[in-house]
């Protein structure tokens, strides 16, 4: 994926959620609680991204909703060499380059498989879910997380207007897997499922962090880092966002996610 040749945009979005969410919400802990994680579990995180989740998981005493102590085995896989390099050499973590639809492990290797905010990047999400089930041991648990449908309407609208004003097609940005259809995808593979919905919002009191978040998403809207038009698109976003705060108020943009577990 073009977006994850560098992890910087992903880090910007993670930091924005940590600093600007309307209410505190530890997604990682919520996922592990949903799957009933224990310190004895061998965990595979598919699409491990920045690796922050696995670093926490491998840290003894980390507060992730599980009993004290590191997990028995923390493993990650990602299609991005940059993501793999970010975790390479991390104590207690194994990481491999690989495809979610063809996981490089034999059947029955893990107790828990997580797919956090990544199934909308996969061409065939059901195949990825089937692979997750294949590498689970009997009694193993799977958890997938995706955003609710139509999350971030203000920010996405801002980006669409900006890219359209500069000749790009805003329709290139699509989200194929979301909170409405994920439960059915997981049920098609696992049968037994449970769904949790977590609603929240991003709240901004100044334009800079909102602009940074919007800019972090531009490659998803077809505006590459090296595109000659990118500085103009960024300037357009910054100018428009500044107008949103002319009255000294705040911008609240609804968001949320669902966790779907299967076993």
Tokens representing 54? Answer: 């696995």
pLDDT digits (tens, 9 = 90+) for 197-235: 999 999 999 999 999 999 999 999 999 999 999 999 999
Q: How confident is the model at residue 1 (pLDDT cuts 50, 70, 90)?
A: very low
pLDDT at 126: 98
Q: How confident is the model at residue 6 (pLDDT cuts 50, 70, 90)?
A: confident
Enter the pTM of the model.
Answer: 0.92
Query: Distance from first CA to last CA of the chain, Å, rounded?
Result: 29
pLDDT at 64: 61
pLDDT digits (tens, 9 = 90+) for 123-137: 999 999 999 999 999
Tokens representing 28? Answer: 């990682």
Task: Indicate the average pLDDT of the chain.
Answer: 94
Q: Report DSSP state, residue 119.
A: G
77 in helix, strand or coil?
Answer: strand
Q: Tokens 């997750």 belong to which residue?
A: 132
Burial of 103 per CB tally in 10 Å (0-12, 13-18, 19+): buried
Statement: residue 66 has pLDDT above 90: no
pLDDT digits (tens, 9 = 90+) for 11-63: 999 999 999 999 999 999 999 999 999 989 999 999 999 999 999 999 876 65
Nearest partner of 76 among 64, 60, 88, judged by Cα: 88
Q: Tokens 């309407």 belong to which residue?
A: 153
Tokens representing 87? Answer: 């975790």
Please give the distance of CA 183 from its chain centroid, rounded to a whole number.
Answer: 17
Statement: residue 70 has pLDDT above 80: no
């Amino acid at each position: 994926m073009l977006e994850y040749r560098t992890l910087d945009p992903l880090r910007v979005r993670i930091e924005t959620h940590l600093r600007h969410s309307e209410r505190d919400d530890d997604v990682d802990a919520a996922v592990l609680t949903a799957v009933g994680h224990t310190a004895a579990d061998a965990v595979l995180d598919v699409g491990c991204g920045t690796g922050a989740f696995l670093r926490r998981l491998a840290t003894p005493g980390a507060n992730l909703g599980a009993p004290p102590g590191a997990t028995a085995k923390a493993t990650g896989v990602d299609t991005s060499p940059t993501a793999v390099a970010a975790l390479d050499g991390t104590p207690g973590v194994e990481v491999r380059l690989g495809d979610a639809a063809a996981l490089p492990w034999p059947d029955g290797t893990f107790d828990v498989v997580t797919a956090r905010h990544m199934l909308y990047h996969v061409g065939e999400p059901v195949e990825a879910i089937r692979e997750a089930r294949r590498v689970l041991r009997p009694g193993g648990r799977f958890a997938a997380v995706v955003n609710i449908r139509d999350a971030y309407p203000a920010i996405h609208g801002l980006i669409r207007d900006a890219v359209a004003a500069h000749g790009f097609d805003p329709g290139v940005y699509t989200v194929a897997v979301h909170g409405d259809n994920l439960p059915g995808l997981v049920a098609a593979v696992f049968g037994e499922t449970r769904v949790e919905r977590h609603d929240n919002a991003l709240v901004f009191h100044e334009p800079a962090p909102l602009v940074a978040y919007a800019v972090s998403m531009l490659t998803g809207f077809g505006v590459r880092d090296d595109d000659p038009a990118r500085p103009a698109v960024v300037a357009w976003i910054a100018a428009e966002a500044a107008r949103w705060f002319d009255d000294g108020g705040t911008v609240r943009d609804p968001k949320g996610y669902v966790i779907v577990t299967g076993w």
